[in-house]
Amino acid sequence: MNARRRTDQPWHGVTDSRLSTAAREHERGMPNERTRSGPLALHSPARATPMLPMNADMAAKKKAPARQAAKKSVAKPRTAKNTAPSKDAAVKKPRVFGISFASIYPLYVQKAENKGRTKAEVDEVIAWLTGYSGKTLQQAIEAKVDLETFFAQAPRMNPNAGLITGVVCGVRVEEVADPLMQKIRYLDKLVDELARGKKMASILRH
Cα 52 to Cα 59: distance, rounded to the nearest angstrom: 13
**102-139 burial code (b ≥16 CB/10 A, e <16):** eebbeebbebbeeeebeeebbbbbbbbbbebeeeebee
pLDDT of residue 133: 92
Q: How far is CA 196 from the centre of its chain?
A: 52
> 146 lies in a domain?
yes
pLDDT of residue 49: 52
> 75 lies in a domain?
no
> Same domain for 107 and 31?
no
Confidence of residue 33 (pLDDT cuts 50, 70, 90): very low
- Per-residue pLDDT tens digits for 53-112: 555 556 555 555 556 655 555 555 565 555 555 555 556 888 999 999 999 999 999 999
> 176 lies in a domain?
yes
Could you give phi then psi for residue 32, rounded to 5 degrees? -90, -175
> 53 lies in a domain?
no
Confidence of residue 37 (pLDDT cuts 50, 70, 90): very low
> 169 lies in a domain?
yes
> Same domain for 124 and 198?
yes
> 117 lies in a domain?
yes
pLDDT of residue 43: 45
> Same domain for 126 and 199?
yes
pLDDT of residue 169: 85
pLDDT of residue 111: 96
* Structural domain boundaries enclosing 28: 12-36
Confidence of residue 206 (pLDDT cuts 50, 70, 90): confident
pLDDT at 142 over 80: yes
> 81 lies in a domain?
no
Cα 99 to Cα 85: distance, rounded to the nearest angstrom: 26
> Same domain for 23 and 110?
no
> Same domain for 107 and 178?
yes
- Per-residue pLDDT tens digits for 146-191: 999 999 999 999 999 999 999 998 999 999 999 999 999 999 999 9
CA-CA-CA-CA torsion for 16, 18, 23, 26, nearest 10 degrees? -160
Identify whether the C-beta of residue 156 lies closer than 8 Å to the C-beta of residue 182.
Answer: no
Identify whether the C-beta of residue 12 lies closer than 8 Å to the C-beta of residue 39.
Answer: yes
pLDDT at 48 over 70: no
Indicate the number of domains in the chain.
2
> 63 lies in a domain?
no
- Domain with residue 130: its CATH number is 1.10.8.290
Q: How many residues does the chain have?
A: 206
Identify whether the C-beta of residue 121 lies closer than 8 Å to the C-beta of residue 194.
Answer: yes
pLDDT of residue 110: 97
pLDDT of residue 94: 86
